[in-house]
Structure 1
Amino acid sequence: MASDVILETRGLTKEFRGFVAVRDVSLRVKRGSIHALIGPNGAGKTTVFNLLTKFLQPSNGNILFNGRDITAVKPADVARLGIIRSFQISAVFPHLSVLENVRVGLQRPLGNSFHFWKSESVLDRLNGRAMELLEDVGLAGYAHRPAAELPYGRKRALEIATTLALEPEMLLLDEPMAGMGHEDIDRIAALIKRVSANRTILMVEHNLSVVSNLSDWITVLARGEVLAEGPYAEVSRHPKVREAYMGSGHA
């Protein structure tokens, strides 16, 4: 049923001065799923993310969210509709405390984002929800520490908490495991699984073991086109997928 599909692209194409980075990509992301977008370097994964969040305008094709055509919608309006992207580079305010970082995210839906001059009494009302989010991502014990002091993996957890503060219906994760050691990878993978309980996640990820453990559905891109789709067990056996990854060692 169409209502089961939260995000759909039809013939999505992006051309840069004669170079086609994304060609005729048609995605169907099922509501409530964890959908992974994988492929060798240069496959067009980040370009697709930039098209979905409207940092790039497609040369051709359409993007639909909850059945609504959002192809011409501006980036800020896409976020207001409920599609929030967490960037590959950790995006936190380093000199604010962990709690204050999440509180900034909570202010945005209230229409007073970044109003640091608001009275403490107004901001303190947000502390309860901020602490709940920090509890969800395992950072409650770090609430009053400057974000700059967090280890890398926990900064990524903080970034996810601030993203969740915006109450996304759909969360786009851009290489959430990039640069992490095994312990952090396991922690963030468990976190992603936990926060997926009542939302849809589309993620670009290089770590195939993470993809195999987390994803309900996988779309493989190669040279800007969809090479294969399906559950991991099926996709990983696909001859063209194996060929695309031969010698690369990662997605």
Structure 2
Amino acid sequence: MSDLILETRDLSKAFKGFVAVKDVNLRVARGSIHALIGPNGAGKTTCFNLLTKFLTPTSGRIFFNGTDITREAPAQVARRGIIRSFQISAIFPHLTALENVRVGLQRREGGTFRFWRSVSLLDRLNPRAMELLDEVGLAGFAATPAVQLPYGRKRALEIATTLAMEPELMLLDEPTQGMGHEDVDRVTQLIRKVGAGRTILMVEHNMKVVSSIASTITVLARGMVLAEGPYEAVSRNPEVMQAYMGTVEGELQGAHA
């Protein structure tokens, strides 16, 4: 089997004449943490929407495990094991942490989520749900309504729910956005932990996070791939510095410290 889990070939998306993504060739290695970075408006979120089929490409192709999924629907892509998180935490606020993870676990049963079933009938999912909560450091919050969790722990719960759906490829969209330093450190460690033996593609603005956990970086600018490689090489690329126009140059270099 190829060591590539995801590949795009000349992937492009135009909106009424505006080209948001142009001829992007992305290659994500199995078992890696791959970061997609770039200045605002670079096309990162559009790329994510194309990969998860929330948008249809104008041209180009997407391959997952060697299979062309370009024309598949979002639900088909999710069933293949491409599971995405969003910038805004997508959890059920008035369900407990345990109940949120159980919702994710019901996906394996191949039917619709059965919110109306008796809680006792879902108790058989509790052992696995607790394992996942423990994996993300939330075992002690199992009975806590999600709305009462601090922001960083909400993000951890979202990751646990994503893991419950048994992703082969996790797409994390700005996982540390809006967090203080302590939460950023906690979630960074969590991503590193859950990334062991899994494949993660993430959009992230925090360069310290990217430098500490990503094995490969792809830099987008104006919808095109500007540079790709390990962080040490990408962060010193003059074209990358120019694309950022100095706004995060300090971050790019400071992350080495």
TM-score range, shorter chain: over 0.9
Matches within 5 A, 1:206-217: 206-217=205-216
Q: Whole-Å Cα distance in 1 between the matches of residues 122 and 110 of structure 2?
A: 13
Deviation at 1:118, TM superposition (A): 1.7
Residue 3 of structure 2 corresponds to 4
Letter in 2 for 1:83: I
Residue 91 of structure 2 corresponds to 92
SS of 1:11's partner is: strand
Q: Whole-Å Cα distance in 2 between the matches of residues 108 and 239 of structure 1?
A: 46
Letter in 2 for 1:79: A
Residue 26 of structure 2 corresponds to 27
Q: Whole-Å Cα distance in 2 between the matches of residues 156 and 28 of structure 1?
A: 27
Number of matched pairs: 250
Residue 64 of structure 2 corresponds to 65
Deviation at 1:222, TM superposition (A): 0.2
Q: CA offsets, 1:122-180, max 9 Å, x none?
A: 20000000000000000111110110000100000000000000000000000000000
Residue 181 of structure 2 corresponds to 182
Q: Whole-Å Cα distance in 2 between the matches of residues 103 and 66 of structure 1?
A: 28
Deviation at 1:108, TM superposition (A): 1.5
Q: Whole-Å Cα distance in 2 between the matches of residues 62 and 216 of structure 1?
A: 24
Aligned-pair identity in percent equals 72
Q: Whole-Å Cα distance in 2 between the matches of residues 113 and 40 of structure 1?
A: 39
Matches within 5 A, 1:102-141: 102-141=101-140
Residue 55 of structure 1 corresponds to 54
Q: Whole-Å Cα distance in 1 between the matches of residues 52 and 119 of structure 2?
A: 33
SS of 1:125's partner is: helix
Q: CA offsets, 1:167-203, max 9 Å, x none?
A: 0000000000000011101110111011111210000
Q: Using structure 1 for the length normalisation, give the TM-score.
A: 0.97
Check the 8 A contact 1:35/1:217 in 2, yes or no: yes
Residue 195 of structure 1 corresponds to 194
Letter in 1 for 2:215: D
Q: CA offsets, 1:24-46, max 9 Å, x none?
A: 00000000000000000000000
SS of 1:198's partner is: coil
Q: Any unmatched runs of 5+ in structure 2?
A: 253-257
Residue 18 of structure 1 corresponds to 17
SS of 1:202's partner is: strand
Check the 8 A contact 1:34/1:202 in 2, yes or no: yes
Q: Using structure 2 for the length normalisation, give the TM-score.
A: 0.95
Residue 81 of structure 2 corresponds to 82
SS of 2:2's partner is: helix
SS of 1:49's partner is: helix
Q: Whole-Å Cα distance in 2 between the matches of residues 158 and 121 of structure 1?
A: 22
Residue 227 of structure 1 corresponds to 226
Check the 8 A contact 1:137/1:161 in 2, yes or no: yes
Deviation at 1:4, TM superposition (A): 0.5
Q: RMSD over aligned Cα, in angstroms?
A: 1.1
